[in-house]
Structure formats: C-alpha cells, structure tokens
Amino acid sequence: MKKITIITLIALLAAGSATARQAAPLKGLAEMKIKEVTVFKDGHVFVLHSGKMPVNSSGNVVMDYLPAPVLGTYWPYSADKNAELRAVIAGKRKVLVEKTALTILEMIEANIGAKVIITERPATTNSQEKPYFYEATILGIPTRSGEELEASAPSSSDERLPEKGNIVMLKTDKGVKALDFGRILDVTFAADLNTKVSVEEFRNLLTLDLKWRGKPRPEAEVGMIYLQRGIRWIPSYNIAINDKGKAVLKLEATLINELTDISDITAHLVIGVPSFAFKDSVDPISLRQDVARLSSSFRQDSQTAFGFSNAIMSQQALPSAGGRGHRRETAGTIDLGPELGGTKKSEDLYMFTVKHVSLRKGERLVMPIAEYDLSYEDVYALDIPFTPPTEVLRNLNHSQRRDLMRMNAGPKVKHKIRIANTSKHPFTTAPAMIMKDGRIVAQGMMTYTPTGSDVDIELTTAVDITVRKVDSETKRTPNAVSWNGDRYTRIDLEGKITLTNYKEKPVTIEIIRHVLGNLDTVGQQGEKEMVNPFEDSSFLPDARTSTWWYGHSWPWWWYRFNGIGRIKWTTTLEPTKSAEHTYSWHYFWR
C-alpha cells in the first residue's frame, strides 16, 4: 500500500477547505450607512443610503444588508463618474464569519499547525485504565467541501456548506493519528493560541455590479433609496393658555425605530400620508419567503424628495359641518405604536426636518419639533343628533334602545377652545394636552388644520349651562303621497330647545341640531340646510350614532321622500337668562 506523506495529507485537508477560502469574509463586505430618512405617521419610512463603499476584486460592491422595500420603490444608483451601475443582484452566498471558539473542536480548528498536549480517554470503559497524554501537532480536520457534496447531490439541489468530520488529524512521534473528538478530554497548547475560528455560513448578499471606466478603484460612490415599513413618528401637542386669549403651542415627536440602527442622520418628519399603492407588497429584492401584511410639498433641501416624484398623492382637507376643516376618523391598529385618527386619510404633506438624529433599533426617542405663539377664544357648542323614527325603534334590540336613550336623554353644552392657526405650518392629528397656570386642564384631540384655518379642542362639559329639548308629533296624514302604486303617511313634528346660563358672565353658544326628514320652519333666525347623506357624513357625530344608522336596513324608498336636515343657531345668553329655539320638520313612512 502506498503511504500518505505528511505533506500529501495536509494538502488533502486543505483541499477540503478550499471552498471556505473562496467565500467572502463577512468583515470584508461593504456597510452602506443611512444618511437620511423621511418618516411618515403610518410607519413607512423613505430611506437614503449613500457613501464611498469598498469594492471587491471584481470591482463590485458587496454587502449583507438587504432591505424589504415596498414593491417598485427600490432604486439603487452610482454617483461615481468612473463607475456605471449595471445591475443589482440579491442572492444567497457563502461568507466567512469569525467567531469566538467555544468548544474543544472549535479551539482545535482555530489552531491548525499548533503544538499541543492531548489528554485522551481510554478506548474501553475499564475502570482500571487511566487517561494518558502525549505531545502532538494539529494537522487539520477532514472536511467534505461544498462542491463535493453538491457533485453527489441531485442536479436541482441547493448550494451546500462544507461538512466537517468528527475526527482530528494529529502528528505524533509515532506517525499521523486520526483521533475521534469524543476521546479528547482536554488540550494543552504549548504557545499562544488563537481564540477565533472562521465559520462558513449562508447570507443574503446584495451585489452592486459596476462597470468601470478603466481600472477599478478601491472605493465607489454608490447609494440606494427605498420605501419600507419600520420607523414611525407620533406627534403630540402641549397647549398652554391664559386668560388673555393667548396660547403657546408646542409640538413634540415620538420616534419609534424598528428598522435598523441610525447614527447622526437627518430625519424628515412628514405631516400627512401619501397613497402607497403597493404598500402591502414587498419587492422581490428583499428575498423574503414570508411577508407579513403591514398596514405634495417637500422641503427643497431634502435629498430624498426627488424619490417621490412619481408617487400618487391624493391630498385634501375634509370640512366639517361647521366648515372649519374638522375631520372625524376611524382609528386603526398597527405594530409601530398607537394609531391616531387622521392618519388613515390624506392630509396635505408638510415636512419638519431634524438633524443629528441617532437611534438604535428598538429604541424610542422624544424630541421637541416646533413652538408657536397663537391666539384662541373660548367656544361653547351644543350638538344634538337625530334619533331614529318610531318605526325604526321597534326594529332595535333592548340594548340599542337603552344606549340611544342614554345618549339623547340630556344633551350637554361643551366648552372648547378655538385656536387660530396663524403659523406657517399646518397642525396634524395628534393628542393635545391643555395647560393653564402650570396645571393640566384637559386632554383632547388636535385635528388636521391648514394654515389660516382654526381648530376646536374640547375641554369639558359646561355644567353651568343647562339644556332642555322637547320634540313632539303634531300631525299624522295617512295617504299623503302616492308613488309607484304605494301610499305614504306624512308625520309632522316640532321641537324646542331651551338653554339657561347660570354662569356669572355672558356666553355665546353655537347650536347644531340634526333631524331625520325635511325641515319646514326654523325660528330665532336660525340657518337651515338639507345634508347630502351620500357624500357628507358629518351628520353622524360619533360612533354610537353611526352604529344603528349603518346597522339598520333602510327601505329603498326612504331617500326618495326624506333627507337629513341641519339647523344652526348662534345665541348669546346673559347671566341667569334663558333662550328658546324652535323648529319643525316632517318625514314620510310607508
């Protein structure tokens, strides 16, 4: 039999690790820093990576960071005049990861060629045999390379990692010994030892394929921009008021980072959320197998602003019944903090820029954004919703009837502050804490308010102003109308609202009353109008009313004869004085 020399054996062992030497060292991969982010309130963030990146021997930039961008928003680029970006390739590749050796096997692997003293346990379990030790030189660990494993696997098999044996080859004074790792009790190293071992792993790598003009340079100026979910900002307001009609409004932002570490970057915090048509579809460049469903004016100095040039942005402010830009929203839930009303519908986009922001993944940051000196006025408002007709009430269950009776039993006048937005920024939908003389007065909700408009924030119920509402049926006319062979009854009603001011000063009260049907008369110089229920939902003051409104199956003929009426009064009450407000209306029923 032909003997295997030490040199031949070392060559065979080295051949088993040839693939590992071809794998890219992890520490040699480029790390493209985030320079700027544009953060939206719904948790989406537009990210800009850029910088001079080291290139490999092929002249390409390779990194192990793969984003998970929204479909169609990933745009890499080369800003190097000597290097043209031909393509970006995302794929699974082998890399060498340097780790601290934690086992005897790893310590031996990290010190190939070292002289050691091996303590070996006996081959049998005879209790009279004792462990023995001897000097040796570590030659290596037999390894099947990835290519060898792939050659013996089916042609459609994936790339394989090397497979290490469970023996170590040692050179002793008696020759070359193959020793099972299970026989080794301990190893004593004769000299300084290496505590790091290189382990081959699969990583998802991103390769920027560059075409150089001439010889590749050590570095290339490259970057990429994309939209992804992972950083969110939540606004909140602190409003300090005084008795002179002045308000100091402070805006702060809570930044939630679940994307990646950011260090000394520029962050743009956007009021409003544009429409991202493919926000639930992740771009294939991310290589993700399982994707969880997530939920017009930029600053000129924003480096990321150009990236939204083709985004669809449908923005509008929806007016309320009072015509003051108030909006009612339905809150949702996402995984980046509590959802605020107003983030589901579009607000006009405006951007606050904050520089030198550093935040590690998983951290939260609270920072001041803006401060304004504004004016406000005290406002007293009474909003009385309609109740279902008698014919509808009998279709409601006991719980629904009880809730409606409780809601309409005692209408209350609400004390609000009305803040005029004379700043150069719009107000965004956010919690608002009202302070006076250093004490908290209330917490309300700031709604989106464009510059030049004003917003009402509720403080409390005005208990010193009492309200009494009386509605009664005055007439019922059977067969009042005939249509398509059906006859309809007309029900006439009248109402009276009485307010009494027990405060020590005069108050001005804004009154809104909605009725189901058609308005006939309105006294005391009140304004009346008919609401379009198909396009204007402002007649539904809160979720409790809309529950029965949308839950009831309205007959097809209802809107042919009936509608929704709105009455508005503005009245000033002197102390201890009362005022009456009268109205009448009718509706048809079959």
C-alpha 118/C-alpha 110 separation (Å) is 16
Q: Which pair of structure tokens corresponds to residue 269?
A: 């915090």
Residue 47 and residue 303: Cα distance in Å, rounded?
10
The answer to whether residue 328 scores a pLDDT higher than 70 is no
- Which H, E and C letters describe 548-572, residue by residue? HHHHCCCCCCHHHHCCEEEEEEEEE
**Maximum distance among all alpha carbons in the chain?**
121
6-30+83-216 is classed CATH 3.40.50.300: no
Selection from 149, 158, 198, 152 nearest residue 20 by Cα: 198
Here the tokens at position 408 are: 């309409």
Nearest Cα neighbor of 231 from 45, 33, 73, 42 is: 45
What are the sequence ranges of the domains in the chain? 6-30+83-216, 227-372, 464-589
Q: Does residue 21 register a pLDDT over 50?
A: no
Compute the half-sphere exposure of residue 343: CA atoms within 13 Å on the CB side of its CA.
Answer: 24
Confidence of residue 408 (pLDDT cuts 50, 70, 90): low
Instruction: Please spell the DSSP secondary structure of 111-125, one letter per residue.
Output: TTT-EEEEEE--SS-
Residue 72, token pair as written in the block: 């169609």
Q: Which two tokens stand for residue 544?
A: 């409790």
Q: What is the mean pLDDT of residues 42-51?
A: 93
- pLDDT tens digits, one per residue of 486-526: 999 999 999 999 999 999 999 999 999 999 999 999 999 99
pLDDT digits (tens, 9 = 90+) for 195-247: 999 888 888 889 999 999 999 999 999 999 999 999 999 999 999 999 999 99
Which of 300, 358, 298 has its CA nearest to residue 40? 298
The 3-state DSSP class for residue 71 equals: coil
Strands 527-531 and 430-436, sheet pairing: unpaired
Averaged over 459-486, what is the pLDDT?
Answer: 94
Please report the pLDDT score of residue 567 as a whole number.
Answer: 96
The amino acid occupying position 516 is L
What is the distance between the alpha carbons of residues 37 and 262, in angstroms, rounded to a whole number?
9
The fraction of the chain above a pLDDT of 70, given in percent, is 82
Cα atoms in the 13 Å half-sphere on the side-chain side of 366: 5
Count of residues making up the chain: 590
Q: Are 538 and 320 in contact (CB under 8 A)?
A: yes
Q: What is the dihedral of CA 480, 481, 487, 489, to 10 degrees?
A: -40
The pLDDT tens digits for 260-277 are 999 999 999 998 778 888
